[in-house]
Amino acid sequence: MQAHILIVEDEPAIRDMIAYALRTQSYQAICAQDAKEAIQAVSERIPDLILLDWMLPGTPGIELARRLRRESNTRDVPIIMLTAKGEESDRIAGFDSGVDDYVVKPFSARELLARIKAVLRRSRENEEDGSIEVGPLRLDANQQKLLVRDEKVHLGPTEYRLLHFLMSHANRVYSRNQLLDFVWGGGSDIEDRTVDVHVRRLRKVLEPFHLESLIETVRGAGYRFVGQPPAS
């Protein structure tokens, strides 16, 4: 079955162009022009992916993204932000709200379809990956959850992918560019500082358990996940 994709875009010309492009690739497209319609659409069926415009009337797209990440039924749905805001600070704000990718307007249908395929592929790979356990942490692939000493902890989809990669390659150092290639996918138009944002979010999740130092910064090189908690 092809993916069911929700388009949240208030400009009819852009919305119709995206819907047409999706249908040419046999995706199922449903449209919403604002946050209210998007919430209604999600209540009727959880999409496989959401294309979300930042500058929506009423509730901005970035606020809707945060709301979707707080809700249990949508927290793991991949989100691609569509926006004319191309500054680095805007991109970081978008990723910090929990979106998975970021496409700057104007964009071509070909570029958008490539991004959609990459995000869906990563999402499906996550579903197929096995569970992994390193030290006190266990990633449950079936539930897409992190367990810290058997306590369930929520992670956003990007943080899950990043932690899964680091735990799968414990004690090895990876540069920001390498992490972008392996976790976000080669050719993704994302600044390397985005990695820092998600590492900070992972450390914040681990901080209540005093395990934030498991993700170690290697000065001048990048990051690594240490296989065991550092000695206190």
Q: What is the pLDDT of residue 187?
A: 53
CB 132 within 8 A of CB 168: yes
Order of strands across the sheet with 151-153? Answer: 132-134, 137-140, 145-148, 151-153
Q: What is the pLDDT of residue 178?
A: 86
CATH of 129-225 among 2.60.120.10, 3.90.550.10, 1.10.10.10, 2.40.110.10: 1.10.10.10
| ∠ CA 47-53-57, rounded to 5° | 110
What is the CATH number that goes with domain 4-126? 3.40.50.2300
Q: For residue 222, what are the β-bridge partners?
A: 218
Beta pairing, strands 79-83 & 49-53? parallel
> Helix or strand or coil: residue 99?
coil
- All CATH 1.10.10.10 domain ranges of the chain, comma separated, are 129-225
Alpha-carbon gap, residue 135 to 78, rounded angstroms: 28
The answer to pTM > 0.95 is: no
Alpha-carbon gap, residue 189 to 184, rounded angstroms: 10
CB 56 within 8 A of CB 63: no
Q: Which residues of the chain have pLDDT under 70?
A: 1, 86-88, 91, 124-130, 142, 186-190, 228-232
Mean pLDDT, the chain, whole residue set: 85
